[in-house]
């Protein structure tokens, strides 16, 4: 990971001093332009970083490989879904956490400037989110464009993956601002990934077994909403017409999530999954004593 030397950062930014002079005159406009500049700086810093490039290449290789291996693009899409649902959250969480801790000095430097704390965190979030979205867009979008002509399902998969990146960057920020200890922060991020990818489904399975005697269809719908990964997977599977296997449950799911309103609902839930961790981390970050 590239270390951000605070001195170099200031020279690289070059604009921190002017920002301060503007800040008093037009706080809103300058806050925005300051944020833009910081986002740009963070973005360049991340893109120079080999990790995101590696992630992009990995996605490219996986997507190309899967479409090459399976004779049927629909099957390739399903395998891709499986892999993306595991790796996107993992990479988003771990990379964001590590990046946040590595740029701690830079953040401290920015905090010393007359900048609002929210501007600092927003620029971190946007920088990370945009970088990972770019990686997904290139790594998954380009092969999809070549192989399946980026039809409705392919586009949806790309969209879900990008939204999941944003969700898990938000969750990673929450994990990072909660503690100063890098090891602890990364540990929390990994645990969260473990929870969302594995533990949650196991708990759902357990609930299913325990409350087998009750009609659980509606409850399942609620449980799906409580895990962004599950929500993404179910939306994808419904599009791929796996719902035919589900009988009555499938009918309920399809009736609910398959319609425009269902899509709006799913979108709203995913937005909540961004908004809630993000606002929590803002709350903590604003009160943080560096």
Partner 1 sequence: MRVSFLFFSFLLLSLQTLQANILHVGQGQVFQQIRPALAAAQAHDTLLVHAGFYQEGNLEIDRPLTLLGMDYPILDGGRQFEVLTIKSSDVCIRGFQIQYSGRMATIDLAGIKVLAVNRIRIEDNRVYQCYFGIYLSGAQDCVVRANDVHGTPLEEQNTGNGIHLWKCERARIEWNYLAGHRDGIYFEFVTDSKINNNFSENNIRYGLHFMFSHKDHYLDNRFRSNGAGVAVMYSREVQMHRNLFEYNWGSAAYGLLLKDISDSQIEHNRFEHNTAGIYLEGASRIRVLNNDFLENGWALRVQASCDANVFRENNFVANSFDVATNGHLVLNEFNGNYWDKYEGYDLNHDQVGDVPFRPVSLYAVVVEQMPYGLMLMRSFMVYLLDKAEKIVPSLTPEKLQDEAPLMNPLQRTAD
- Cα separation, 237 vs 242, in Å, equals 6
Which of 39, 235 has the CB closer to partner 1? 235
- Cα separation, 83 vs 80, in Å, equals 5
Smallest distance, partner 1 to C-beta of residue 7, A: 44
Which of 85, 132 has the CB closer to partner 1? 85
For the chain, the C-alpha Rg in angstroms (whole number) is 21
Q: Which of these segments, 19-27, 100-108, 210-218, 272-280, binds partner 1 (CB under 8 A)?
A: 210-218
What angle do helix axes 50-69 and 27-48 make, rounded to 10 degrees?
A: 60
Which of 11, 72 has the CB closer to partner 1? 72
Report if residue 233 touches partner 1, rule: CB under 8 A: yes
Q: Which of these segments, 29-37, 104-112, 156-164, 248-256, binds partner 1 (CB under 8 A)?
A: 248-256
Among 210, 248, 260, 290, binds partner 1 (CB under 8 A): 248
Asked if 278 contacts 173 with a C-beta cutoff of 8 angstroms, the reply is yes
Report if residue 192 touches partner 1, rule: CB under 8 A: no
Asked if 155 contacts 137 with a C-beta cutoff of 8 angstroms, the reply is no
Altogether, the residues listed in the chain come to a count of 290
**CA 187, 185, 98, 33 torsion-angle sign:** positive
Smallest distance, partner 1 to C-beta of residue 92, A: 16
Which of 9, 220 has the CB closer to partner 1? 220
Buried b (16+ CB within 10 A) or exposed e, 154-171: bebbbbbbbbbbbbbbbb
Q: Which of these segments, 34-42, 61-69, 151-159, 233-241, binds partner 1 (CB under 8 A)?
A: 233-241
Which of 46, 238 has the CB closer to partner 1? 238
**CA 152, 155, 157, 162 torsion-angle sign:** negative
Contacting residues toward partner 1, per CB under 8 A: 75, 78, 81-82, 85-86, 197-198, 201-202, 204-205, 208-209, 212, 216-217, 220, 223-224, 230, 233-234, 237, 241-251, 253
């Amino acid at each position: 990971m590239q270390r951000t030397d605070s001195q170099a950062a200031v020279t690289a930014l070059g604009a921190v001093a002017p920002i301060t002079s503007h800040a008093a005159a037009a706080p809103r406009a300058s806050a925005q332009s300051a944020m833009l500049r910081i986002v740009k700086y963070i973005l360049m810093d991340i893109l120079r970083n080999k990790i995101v490039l590696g992630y992009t290449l990995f996605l490219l290789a996986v997507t190309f490989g899967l479409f090459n291996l399976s004779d049927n693009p629909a099957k390739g899409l399903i395998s891709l879904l499986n892999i993306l649902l595991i790796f996107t959250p993992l990479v988003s969480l771990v990379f964001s956490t590590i990046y946040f801790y590595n740029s701690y000095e830079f953040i401290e430097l920015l905090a010393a400037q007359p900048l609002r704390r929210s501007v600092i965190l927003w620029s971190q979030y946007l920088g990370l989110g945009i970088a990972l979205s770019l990686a997904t867009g290139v790594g998954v979008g380009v092969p999809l464009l070549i192989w399946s002509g980026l039809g409705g399902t392919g586009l949806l998969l790309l969209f879900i993956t990008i939204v999941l990146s944003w969700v898990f960057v938000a969750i990673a920020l929450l994990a990072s601002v909660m503690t100063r200890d890098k090891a602890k922060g990364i540990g929390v991020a990994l645990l969260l990934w473990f929870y969302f990818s594995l533990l949650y489904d196991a708990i759902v399975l357990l609930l299913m077994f325990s409350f087998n005697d009750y009609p659980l269809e509606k409850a399942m719908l609620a449980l799906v909403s409580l895990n962004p990964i599950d929500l993404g997977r179910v939306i994808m599977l419904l599009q791929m017409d796996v719902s035919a296997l589900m009988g009555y449950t499938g009918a309920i799911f399809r009736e609910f999530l398959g319609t425009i309103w269902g899509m709006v609902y799913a979108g709203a839930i995913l937005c909540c999954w961004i908004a809630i961790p993000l606002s929590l981390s803002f709350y903590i970050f604003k009160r943080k004593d560096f």
